[in-house]
């Protein structure tokens, strides 16, 4: 069975082990093991039950459900709740350093953009650079491990603001995830190459009692693909908190989303309603709570969105 659509049901995994796979095909049986294309489940509901069972007992990797390119019917909606969520990679064995900074060992090569401490998202160690106060040198070209700056910019920086030709940019930037920038409580730095994560305590925190998790997966739930559209999908009455990236992306940005060769690729009949979005987009300031691109005959209504640093809803390209 060729898998054209993937539904990721559990995202925040606990290790870097090989993903656990389940398969679904309408011509199979729910009495099967579901762990290969030849022993696939028959229904999405049975796969959902298997995923939830793994999360509750022995989840140690990302769980992926592969569905074949067939029509699937449901007698009732499949609801995703807290029981369908992983818990991230638990971080323990912290060692005290200087200035309230602690470190712990993690697998070398692990990737993560968020550390949750006692249920709250920590910020990257970062610094805001305003070009009016921080001079910059324009980049001329770059290569493998090489960066060439326009000459003689370093010499110009010694002259002063009024003597150099346009020494400042008309924008500001954030520099982040550097150990030297770990200067405030509640910040963390992940050294993926060395297999170390660093965290600076907030006032009143005790490293002996905190619970810390690294999020290590990009997506919680994904439906459809560049081959088959998502249709008649509802996301209703959910609560999104500290998501870090886009909370909901409906449609797509790749070529097949807007120059599709088959009309069946166009997403339609989507409903996003009655959801609450609070304090999302903490890390990337230009992230949107709901992004809808290249969809038709869909509804976005009655969502409560607050405490967001950027656009609440972005509807474009459609």
Measured distance CA(226)–CA(229) in Å, rounded: 7
Q: What is the model's pLDDT at position 16?
A: 32
Is the pLDDT reported for residue 90 higher than 70?
yes
What's the whole-number mean pLDDT along residues 66-93?
Answer: 74
What's the whole-number mean pLDDT along residues 24-37?
Answer: 92
What's the whole-number mean pLDDT along residues 17-45?
Answer: 87
Report which listed range, 121-135, 140-154, 167-181, is most confident. Answer: 140-154
Residue 102: which of 203, 179, 207, 195 has the closest Cα? 207
Residue 212: which of 127, 126, 112, 82 has the closest Cα? 112
Measured distance CA(281)–CA(245) in Å, rounded: 6
Is the pLDDT reported for residue 84 higher than 80?
no
Give the start-end residues of each E strand in 120-224.
120-121, 123-124, 126-130, 139-143, 146-149, 172-176, 187-191, 196-200, 212-215
Q: What is the model's pLDDT at position 228?
A: 58
3 state SS of 47: helix
Measured distance CA(226)–CA(129) in Å, rounded: 39
Residue 100: which of 226, 256, 222, 210 has the closest Cα? 210
DSSP per-residue codes, 167-186: -S-SSEEEEES-GGG--STT
Residue-wise burial string across 64-82, b where 16 or more C-beta atoms lie within 10 A, e elsewhere: bbbbbeeeeeeeeeeebee
Is the pLDDT reported for residue 142 higher than 90?
no
What global pTM score does this model have? Answer: 0.59
Task: Identify the weakest region by mean pLDDT among 103-112, 154-163, 183-192.
Answer: 154-163
Percent of the chain residues topping a pLDDT of 90 = 23
Q: List the structure tokens of 173.
A: 């930037």
Task: Identify the weakest region by mean pLDDT among 52-56, 72-76, 85-89, 238-242.
Answer: 85-89
Q: In whole numbers, what is the pLDDT of the chain averaged over residues?
A: 77
- Our measurement of the distance from residue 134's CA atom to the centroid of its chain's CA atoms, rounded to an integer in Å, reads 31
Task: Identify the weakest region by mean pLDDT among 50-64, 114-128, 223-237.
Answer: 223-237
Alpha-helical (H) ranges within the chain are: 44-57, 153-156, 255-258
Is the pLDDT reported for residue 189 higher than 50?
yes
Tens digits of residue pLDDT in 252-277:
777 776 777 777 777 888 999 999 99
pLDDT tier, 65 (very low <50, low <70, confident <90, very high otherwise): confident
Tens digits of residue pLDDT in 271-308:
999 999 987 766 666 778 898 888 889 999 999 998 88
Q: Where are the domains of the chain?
A: 1-86, 89-124+175-215, 132-170, 224-318
For strand 196-200 and strand 101-105, is the pairing parallel, antiparallel, or unpaired?
Answer: antiparallel
DSSP per-residue codes, 52-105: HHHHHHT--S-EEEEEESS----SSPPPP-GGG----EEE---EE-STTEEEEE
Is the pLDDT reported for residue 46 higher than 80?
yes
């Amino acid at each position: 069975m060729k898998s054209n659509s993937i539904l990721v049901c559990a995202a925040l995994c606990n290790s870097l082990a090989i993903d656990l796979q389940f398969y679904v095909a309408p011509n199979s049986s729910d009495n099967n093991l579901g762990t290969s294309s030849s022993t696939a489940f028959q229904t999405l509901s049975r796969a959902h039950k298997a995923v939830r069972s793994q999360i509750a007992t022995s989840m140690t990797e990302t769980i992926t459900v592969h569905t074949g390119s067939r029509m699937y019917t449901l007698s009732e909606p499949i609801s995703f709740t807290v029981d369908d969520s992983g818990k991230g990679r638990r971080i323990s064995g912290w060692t005290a350093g200087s200035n309230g900074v602690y470190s712990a060992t993690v697998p070398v090569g692990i990737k993560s953009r968020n550390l949750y401490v006692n249920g709250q998202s920590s910020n990257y160690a970062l610094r805001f650079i305003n070009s009016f106060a921080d001079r910059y040198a324009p980049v001329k070209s770059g290569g493998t491990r090489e960066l060439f700056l326009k000459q003689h910019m370093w010499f110009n920086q010694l002259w002063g603001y009024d003597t150099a030709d346009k020494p400042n940019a008309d924008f500001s930037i954030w520099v982040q995830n550097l150990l030297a920038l770990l200067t405030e409580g509640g910040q963390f730095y992940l050294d993926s190459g060395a297999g170390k994560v660093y965290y600076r305590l907030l006032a009143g925190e005790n490293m002996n009692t905190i619970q810390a998790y690294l999020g290590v997966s990009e997506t919680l739930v994904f439906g459809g693909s560049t081959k088959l559209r998502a249709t008649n999908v509802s996301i209703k009455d959910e609560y999104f908190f500290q998501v870090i990236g886009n909370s909901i992306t409906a449609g797509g940005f790749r070529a097949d989303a807007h120059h599709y060769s088959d009309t069946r690729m166009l997403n339609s009949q989507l409903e996003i309603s009655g959801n609450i979005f609070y304090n999302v987009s903490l890390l990337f300031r230009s992230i949107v709570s709901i992004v809808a691109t290249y969809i038709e005959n869909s509804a976005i209504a009655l969502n409560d969105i607050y405490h967001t640093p950027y656009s609440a809803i972005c509807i474009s390209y459609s």
